[in-house]
Amino acid sequence: MLYRHFAYRAAEEVIKKFPNKDVYIVEAGATPSGKIHLGNFNDVIISDAVLKALKDLGYNSDGFLVIDSRDPFRQPPIFAPKEFIRESESYVGRPFIEIPDPWGCHENYAEHFVDPVQKNMEKYGVEIGIKWAQEIHSNIVFIKLLLRLIDNRDKVIEIYNDVRRRAGHTNLYPRNWIPFRPQCSKCGRIDESVEIIGLVDKYRVKYRCKSCGNMDIANIERMEGKPPWRIDWPLRWVALNIAFEPLGKDHMASGSGYEMGCNLLRKFFEREPPVPVFYDFVYWVERGDEKRVLKFSKRRGIGLGVDEWLKYAPPEVLRFYILRRDVSDIYSEALSHWDFDITQIPQYVQSFDKFEETYFNIVEKAIDQVKNQVIVDTYLLSVVRKPKKRIRRISYWQLARIAVWMIDIDDGMRMLRRQGKLKDLSEEELIDVRNRLNMALNWTKIVGLKAVLPSIDKLKEIFKQISGEEKLIFKTFLEAVVSGKLSENNVQEYMLKFAETMGYKTRKERLKIYQTIYKILLGEESGPPLRRMLSKREFRKYLEAIYTKLTGSF
């Protein structure tokens, strides 16, 4: 039996569960409470992968990223302007869509955080569109479904409480619960502060706002409020005819909102819930005196934004890292977590490049594609556009080592050309190099020079592999820098004298000094002008530090 990528297995499950559909709809979700980060983007990329799998299998498909723009604002992001934080108490409980943009550059709070995602969807090759909560809530189909639930709320309460009892919960929905949350006509709150007193008729509820004291009547048919999320979510599944949606692994817990929604669909609407794929979270690795692993947080600004990733790495690399994970059973297992470490961006890119090589080896050498179908699937679902032929890539690490010393991108390209790295590259491949060189430059600006220079442990390993002559050259170079005999102002003069003491007479012999220094520090026999390197204070400090720690290794 052919074993395929989980997106294809989910797509096949969708077709099996919902046969004979004219179009299959996939959904992703995001709450615009703060910066939409890589963890949130799991939803988007997984949904998009299933959409692509359905299309590849020959089925009409469409999809949405639903923005919960009418959810209530709770707390300001810690990175918001101080003025907004001071006045944020007046916004608590109001829908995100009705709160001003803290930075004043968008129509409202929700748009500020959604815009960076929306602008970059195409760059990530994402085919699903964006649908806002206000658009869904104003849809007559959604409204009629909600009114039907409210009219039959006894059955809804029974279904939800049955799930909670089986999960061991004692906090049950009361018999007078009405699955609607009115919006206060005075202060605009749409959260738990607005308390329903009772139904006026089948279309209206009377409420009291505990925050401002206002009492009024809200019209459900005109959506003067919204359903609570445990109702809102399954209603979307029905109203939008959703066949697939990925979920965080917390929804696998017994008694979760997801389990409630599934039971509501089966027992009330008499249809199957969407096919799921569960995933574990993305965690942020913070490096200081000691390594810390933190959960991504929109409000606290922890984690890399979807738009920010593109400054440092290609979009296909993020798609690959989300889609390379696997589960054998999409209903009972979750895709593994990812400890994201921004200092490891070069390693992430090189992992993708290596995987790309594996894919082309399979395709070009006609290696058993059935046996390697998951590799083929993963690669094709990861790339934004399928390349016509193998792309020759330059190592991100090599580009980073160039980026820290170059004056600009053109200067970096000249250095690469001198090193012979650009020989016979096509125009497309040269564009790829330029783009990645710019990303590497951005990356080095946030991680610093040390990130691209060898550690003490790495240098000790290098010393085991080089000759005594090369050790002597490097030791003399370090001593000269530390003592002040060598600086950016006298490189040529010093190197000529150094060559004389080593007995080097020819130009080729003198070049050996430079080649040795570059090879040990940069992994290449050529590099930027040494005077440019020595002009950087951070580089000189690095040389002083390694000289102190390596004294016994020479």
In the chain, the amino acid numbered 213 is G
Q: How far apart are CA 367 and CA 105, in angstroms?
A: 53
Question: How many Cβ atoms are within 10 Å of 76's Cβ, its own excluded?
Answer: 23
Report the alpha-carbon angle 313-318-324, nearest 5.
Answer: 140
Task: Write a three-state SS string for 221-281.
Answer: CCCCEECCHHHHHHHHHHHCCEEEEEEEHHHHCCCCHHHHHHHHHHHCCCCCCCEEEEECC
Which residues face 95 on adjacent strands?
Answer: 72
In the chain, the amino acid numbered 62 is D
Pick the CATH number of 453-553 from 1.20.1180, 3.40.449, 3.20.20, 1.10.10: 1.10.10
Sign of CA dihedral 345, 295, 323, 30: negative
Question: How many Cβ atoms are within 10 Å of 418's Cβ, its own excluded?
Answer: 12
- Reported as a single tens digit per residue, the pLDDT across 35-57 is 999 999 999 999 999 999 999 99
What is the residue-level pLDDT of the chain in tens, covering all 554 positions?
Answer: 678 999 999 999 999 999 999 999 999 999 999 999 999 999 999 999 999 999 999 999 999 999 999 999 999 999 999 999 999 999 999 999 999 999 999 999 999 999 999 999 999 999 999 999 999 999 999 999 999 999 999 999 999 999 999 999 999 999 999 999 999 999 999 999 999 999 999 999 999 999 999 999 999 999 999 999 999 999 999 999 999 999 999 999 999 999 999 999 999 999 999 999 999 999 999 876 677 888 888 888 888 999 999 999 999 999 999 999 999 999 999 999 999 999 999 999 999 999 999 999 999 887 777 789 999 999 999 999 999 899 999 999 999 999 999 999 999 999 999 889 999 999 999 999 999 999 999 999 999 998 999 999 999 999 999 999 999 999 999 999 999 999 999 999 999 999 999 999 898 988 999 999 999 999 888 888 999 999 999 999 999 999 988 876 66
**pTM attached to this predicted model:** 0.93
CA dihedral 9, 13, 16, 19 (to 10 degrees): -110
Alpha-carbon distance values, 49 to 246, 378, 552 (Å) = 11, 9, 54
Q: Which two tokens stand for residue 377?
A: 């699937």
Q: 207 in helix, strand or coil?
A: strand
In the chain, the amino acid numbered 396 is Y
Burial class, 202, CB count within 10 angstroms (exposed 0-12 / middle 13-18 / buried 19+): exposed
Give long-range contacts, CB 8 A cutoff, 24+ apart: 152-156: 152/268, 153/177, 153/178, 153/179, 155/267, 155/268, 156/231, 156/264, 156/268
Alpha-carbon distance values, 127 to 10, 111, 377 (Å) = 17, 20, 17
Residue with tokens 């959409």: 51
pLDDT of residue 553: 63
Task: Write a three-state SS string for 137-195.
Answer: HCCHHHHHHHHHHHHCHHHHHHHHHHHHHHCCCCCCCCCCCCCCEECCCCCCCCCCCEE
Q: Name the DSSP class of 309.
A: H
- Reported as a single tens digit per residue, the pLDDT across 128-165 is 999 999 999 999 999 999 999 999 999 999 999 999 99
pLDDT of residue 552: 64
Q: How far apart are CA 179 and CA 413, in angstroms?
A: 62
Q: Which two tokens stand for residue 487?
A: 């600086």
Pick the CATH number of 1-169+228-341 from 3.40.50.300, 3.90.1300.10, 3.40.50.620, 3.30.565.10: 3.40.50.620
The count of C-alpha atoms lying within 13 angstroms of the C-alpha of 429, restricted to the half-sphere facing its C-beta, is: 14
Q: How far apart are CA 399 and CA 523, in angstroms?
A: 12
Q: Which two tokens stand for residue 515?
A: 């080649």
pLDDT of residue 554: 60
CA dihedral 153, 156, 162, 165 (to 10 degrees): -60
pLDDT of residue 287: 77
H helix count then E strand count, the chain? 22, 14
